[in-house]
A and B are shown apart, each in its own frame.
Chain A
């Protein structure tokens, strides 16, 4: 059974710092990996999706990397801003029988960026 772990559970940084969020997974036979952002009381917003054949994806100040063989992904946030404060969730996608597909989520890292 796929298990996804995110460390740390919470992180507090001063504004302007670069930071890295970590995600590890137990089964390397994945199809893709998705990073989400969740604001308090809100739904999930997809930030980046990395296919298993890719090493990284970038969007603005965000860069996500994937090392499938070691079961790790990182989300790098450059020049953090107070508006980046949210919970960041990593989710691993697996293709199953007959083309079925499932995401398994980590419990998230709660990020606070202090002005």
Chain B
């Protein structure tokens, strides 16, 4: 398997623009997580899905952030409108809840570095 795939790897946009980040989880994994990493706050969980259904979005910072998972192989994180303080690295991760010893081990994508000017 190719692992978790994220696109784009880098995104530079102007304040007020819409940004869409994309993620393809590992095939067969039933959980998908979106994280944000900044120097100040470290890695923070934004939202996660189980079998394409959002389970907990309490980490989403504002209504400007939204996430969808239309099918088992694709998820998006959208920011509209974007602001400079949204600049961070956004990671997607997936895991499998139904497997013995490796249960819940999370596999991360390479991240999307977002810069909002």
Contacts and interface: CB of A to CB of B under 8 A. Distances in A.
Interface of A: 31-32, 34, 36, 41-46, 49, 51, 89, 91, 93, 96, 99-108
B102 A102 contact: no
Contacts of A89: 43
A92 to B, nearest CB: 12
Interface of B: 4, 31, 33, 42-43, 45, 48, 50, 55-56, 91, 93, 95, 97, 101-102, 104-111, 113
Contact of B105 (A49, A96, A107): A49
A31 B105 CA distance: 11
B48 A102 contact: yes
Contact residues of B: prevailing secondary structure: strand
Given A42-B110, A43-B108, A43-B109, A103 B45 contact: yes
13 contacts: A31-B104, A32-B104, A36-B108, A41-B113, A45-B108, A89-B43, A91-B106, A99-B50, A100-B48, A100-B50, A102-B56, A103-B45, A106-B42
B111 A43 contact: yes
B95 to A, nearest CB: 8
Contacts of B113: 41
Contacts of A41: 113
Nearest to A49: B105
